[in-house]
A and B are shown apart, each in its own frame.
Chain A
Amino acid sequence: MTNTRQIRDAYIVAASRLPVARRNGMFRNVRPDDMLAHAIRAVMDQAPGLDPARIGDVIVGCAMPEAEQGMNVARIGLLLAGLPNTVPGITINRFCSSGLQAVANAADQIRLGLADVMIAAGAESMSAMPQIMGNKVALNPAVFAQPENIGIAYGMGLTAEKVASQWKISREDQDAFALASHQKACAAIAAGHFRAETTPYPIREHLPDLASGTVKIRQRMADTDEGPRADSAPDKLAKLKPVFHARGSVTAGNSSQMSDGAAAVLLVSEPVLKELGLAPLARFVGFAVAGVPPEIMGIGPIAAIPKVLQQTGIRQDELDWIELNEAFAAQSLAVMRELGLNPEKVNPLGGAIALGHPLGATGAIRTATVTHGLRRTSGRYGMVTMCIGTGMGAAGIFERL
């Protein structure tokens, strides 16, 4: 058996997420800092007896840290969550892996002995962004000066088209993959498999009631992911037109959904674990990130997964559960085929095509999914991995305890 013990380990004692909403869906009027505060409160509630003043830092991943989620959303979120003002907070950004990066950075603080209690989180409201590139687009003209940098200017969909043609991923395979994602997600919701990892969010909206001239308060509880389509069907998917290339294969149906979401993960050192008698969900095993050409950014995991396996000494076939972010069906299939990932272990509850992809929050959200999922299925090692815009891949490994 592989020995992956480290000098000092970081343990996940709580991991919780909000349901993921479609862009401009149920969280249209919910602020990302409020979502973040709610996720932080949820994990703190799961560790009664833990003095919040002991939290060394709150690290929050966010891919578009501006406007509603600007101003260092980590600090605002933790204060709104009611943590003492002695607890610091930092917002970090590595696009789609930001939430996973936050978990890795938090674990590292513990592993280095610099902290005993850490919160890692992710929050993203794509509803709050007027466009995918943020409030003010300002590309560097130098991008066009060197042909090798032109990929920086490529939209993500175009990079997916490049991956599809380079790895020969057919439209039919992409659509079938997308359909399976919806079917798995719907089945998981029906079976209640997301219940343990999800903390419902009470939506409270102040709406103008023009007829009565009063402000109406509308309240509802959000407890289920909004993205999965029970009525997804092959003919419906086949009808959609390619968006990014006139003769392409990438459609709105086989791409990830734009979403709003947040999650938080509470990590502690072994001494704290013992001191408070906390039951760990999982142990953080390792994390790696690697760069690839920007124009085929979707293959990022092809570089990151072997790297983290080598670092941790874990064999690919030891992984029982792989959360591979479905940025696009095209890149997901390319990664799976290139690395020979076992399809049965990849996204057993569906992926971002059905469940949504709130950019910087996704890594933290899927950490909650994989740690709770391993526990439910008694698996041992699980992975969260994703491709990253401008050409990177990230992968993190967790061990159920």
Chain B
Amino acid sequence: MTKADLDQLKLERLMLNSRRTFLTGSSAALAAAFFGSTEVAAAAAGSKKFSRPTDQPLATLPPQFPARAKRVIYLHMAGAPSQLDLFDYKPELAKRDGQDTPLSFLEGKNFAFLTGIPKLMGPQYPFKQYGSSGAWFSDRLPHLAEHADKICFIKSMHTDQFNHAPAQMLALTGQSRFGYPSMGSWISYGLGTENQNLPGYVVMLSGASAPRGGKQLWGSGFLPSVYQGVQCRSQGEPVLFLDNPDNVSSAIRRQVLDTLNEINQSSYREFMDQETLTRIAQYEMSFRMQAEASDVFDISQESEKTRVAYGADPQSESFGKNCLIARRLVERGVRFVQLFDMDWDSHGQDEASSLKHNFKNLCHGIDRPIAALLSDLEERGLLEDTLVVWGSEFGRTPMKEEANGQKTPWIGRDHNPSAFTVWMAGAGVKGGYTHGSTDEMGYEVADDPVSLADFHATILYLLGYNHHDLSVHFQGLDQRLTGVHHPRIISQILA
């Protein structure tokens, strides 16, 4: 069988699998996805580059192609959790625990902190297989493990940045440098948002610090600022400047807005400036947003049972509370919800960064909330068209980190850009499936490497976009989330 024959067969199977979703006009998109060639894609699809009417910055637009996913909840574990102690089970590494790292692992490598010849370190927690798919989980995520058959793992992610800030930017904006729009911005730009009374792209943080990549992780780069993620807080005013000043009642505000509308109408009659009409509409929207945003962030409306399942306490900030709010947001049509959970940088330099210590609390902090989120989305029928993504900026080394050769009770691993694990669940992805693998030490990708560009292109694909076409001309180039790369859609993970 020639390669062309094989490709043809694979294509047919892919189309068969996806027939349910792609009834019309889809073969070109699939071909593009399959061949991963942008030239072929554009030619085959005969599609035009995306452009959005400037006067409707957030209006809902149909995707380029019919899509399974309508919205995204993206869970980023900032600092990089150890995949070797959560999902990527390596029995051979366990056997070689304490041995010197082979020199071949160290040659030509840059590390953030490792020096000299470090020791290999096996998994720190027992692993077991779960679900009918037999996916591996360590005992740190028992509740999530119950959802093994909903989850699609990619264990062969790799990146080329080994410091947090640039790696986070690369993971979330497609570039390791400043000035580029984040994934959520691109998606809001492409699809708009379904609920005009709420920001279309919401970001929430949990944990003791803020992500090192800073606000550019949800920034709009060279896209208009209306596409930047709106950082919301689960305590106090959820959206900045949302609440009326103390002595202004909603009734007075209404009166002010009515008067303002009259005056602005007369400006419009004089200047016939379309922007004036937009402004009138935006003032009205701000009024509705005040009601709706306060409502969506009010988790006291949820049953006690639900709040307990998420581990969400109305009185304090937590990842669990953010997960519950994320569900409430997507339920109301928010396009992209991005949660950052902090402090996963397990170097083992102190208790907070030790795999045997604070790491347990961190795992505990996400285990029930994510499990509850997946159940809740499923029960409400939202998992059908909501894509849940769990990931980070890189992985961690199979080598034990000892700063300057010092002996401490703390245990940690250094940054590993060569291999890490992410997972997806929900709209359009295969549950109970694992794509790609690492070598027996979990150090390098062994099979089916997936770059961040591939990963981004696949997410855009699930949302109905050929990554190549969602572009904006800036600084002499057609800029895209996937930059100048030629990514491949990870067709194997598509349901």
Query: Are A and B genuine complex partners?
Result: no
Please list the residues of chain B having a beta carbon within 8 angstroms of any beta carbon in chain A.
Answer: none
Please list the residues of chain A having a beta carbon within 8 angstroms of any beta carbon in chain B.
Answer: none
